[in-house]
């Protein structure tokens, strides 16, 4: 795939908020090549480290940020409060960040899991969460909202947007996958529909996450509608890599920042 320049997706509601910038960056517009073409930001991939670093700088420059903080994502619910920039070797193990500091972009890596960006424009507080099925089920969405509220945000004022993630028509799971969701709440059965294979279902991950956010009192929530598995030209996808037996895969970045 040839480099066609930066392609940044945005959420309509977040875009009209003053004093905040955000972007759901696609895989296009970077310096990596081969299966990582081209805006791969994942140090955990086997891509050249210098290329990943350059790709991250491209994102920093495009946002007008002073720095970019990301976390070592572990599919849990720990939320890191960001008070300043950290070096790569100091990256904490967590799956979400919140901050009221300006100039520092906070970013989530993804390749099927859902990146969720939050903003309370009145309190000038932002958040970013990595919500795959494990993290979402564990409570990372609720933990991020709670941490934002601890430093002054209010659910009524929080806008939240889910970026490109594996879509409800692509996320096929086995029957055993359903049990922890149904055990959590019977209403979660609504996020599963029958697949073409026997004893398999299609899971609506963005729909489930939106439901979690609404249960926390958020009413300004949305999904960009982009399916990472279905569009390999624009998005990295772990499942696409697995199905097509590729040796590795890149990671995209979704970031948000309070303007100075």
Q: Is residue 183 part of a domain?
A: no
The CATH number for 42's domain is: 3.60.140.10
Is a pLDDT exceeding 90 seen at residue 4?
Answer: no
pLDDT in tens, 180-192: 999 999 999 999 9
Among positive and negative, which fits the CA dihedral 237, 241, 244, 246?
positive
Cα dihedral 118, 119, 125, 130, rounded to 10, equals 10
Altogether, the residues listed in the chain come to a count of: 260
Q: Is residue 191 part of a domain?
A: no
pLDDT in tens, 205-228: 999 999 999 999 999 999 999 999
Q: What is the mean pLDDT of the chain?
A: 97
Q: Is residue 174 part of a domain?
A: no
Q: Which domain holds residue 72?
A: 8-168+204-258
Q: What are phi and psi of 173, to 5 degrees?
A: -135, 160
Number of independent structural domains in the chain: 1
pLDDT category of residue 3 using cuts at 50, 70 and 90 = very low
pLDDT in tens, 115-125: 999 999 999 99
Whether cis (ω within 30° of 0) applies to the bond prior to 127 is no
Q: What whole-number distance in Å separates Cα of residue 142 and Cα of residue 71?
A: 18
Q: Is residue 243 part of a domain?
A: yes
Residue 15 has what pLDDT? 97
Q: What whole-number distance in Å separates Cα of residue 88 and Cα of residue 92?
A: 9
Radius of gyration of the chain (CA): 17
Q: Is residue 91 part of a domain?
A: yes
Q: Is residue 176 part of a domain?
A: no
Is a pLDDT exceeding 50 seen at residue 29?
Answer: yes
Q: Is residue 181 part of a domain?
A: no
Is a pLDDT exceeding 60 seen at residue 159?
Answer: yes
Q: Is residue 36 part of a domain?
A: yes
Is a pLDDT exceeding 80 seen at residue 57?
Answer: yes
Q: What whole-number distance in Å separates Cα of residue 87 and Cα of residue 67?
A: 10
Average pLDDT, stretch 11-30? 98
Q: What whole-number distance in Å separates Cα of residue 100 and Cα of residue 83?
A: 8
Q: Answer yes or no: are the C-beta atoms of 216 and 154 closer than 8 Å.
A: no
pLDDT in tens, 72-119: 999 999 999 999 999 999 999 999 999 999 999 999 999 999 999 999
């Amino acid at each position: 795939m040839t480099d066609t320049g930066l392609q940044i997706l945005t959420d309509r509601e977040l875009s009209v908020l003053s004093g905040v910038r955000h972007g759901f960056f696609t895989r296009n517009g970077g310096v990596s090549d081969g299966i990582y073409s081209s805006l791969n930001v994942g140090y955990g991939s086997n891509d050249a480290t210098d290329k990943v670093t350059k790709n991250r700088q491209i994102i920093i420059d495009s946002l007008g940020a002073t720095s970019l903080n990301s976390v070592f994502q572990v599919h849990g619910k720990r939320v890191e409060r960001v008070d300043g920039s950290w070096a790569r070797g100091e990256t904490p193990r967590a799956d979400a960040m919140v901050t009221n500091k300006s100039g520092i972009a906070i970013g989530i890596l993804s390749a099927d899991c859902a990146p969720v960006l939050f903003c309370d424009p009145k309190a000038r507080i932002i958040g970013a969460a990595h919500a795959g099925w494990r993290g979402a089920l564990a409570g990372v969405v609720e933990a991020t909202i709670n941490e934002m509220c601890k430093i002054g945000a209010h659910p009524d004022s929080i806008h939240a947007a889910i970026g490109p993630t594996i879509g409800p028509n692509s996320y096929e799971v086995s029957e055993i996958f359903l049990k922890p969701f149904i055990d959590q709440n019977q209403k979660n059965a609504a996020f599963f529909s029958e697949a073409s294979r026997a004893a398999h279902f299609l899971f609506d991950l963005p729909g489930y996450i939106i439901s979690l956010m609404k249960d926390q009192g958020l009413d300004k929530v949305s999904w960009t509608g982009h399916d990472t598995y279905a569009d390999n030209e624009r998005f990295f996808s772990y499942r696409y890599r697995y199905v097509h037996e590729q040796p590795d895969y890149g990671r995209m970045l979704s970031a948000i920042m309070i303007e100075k």
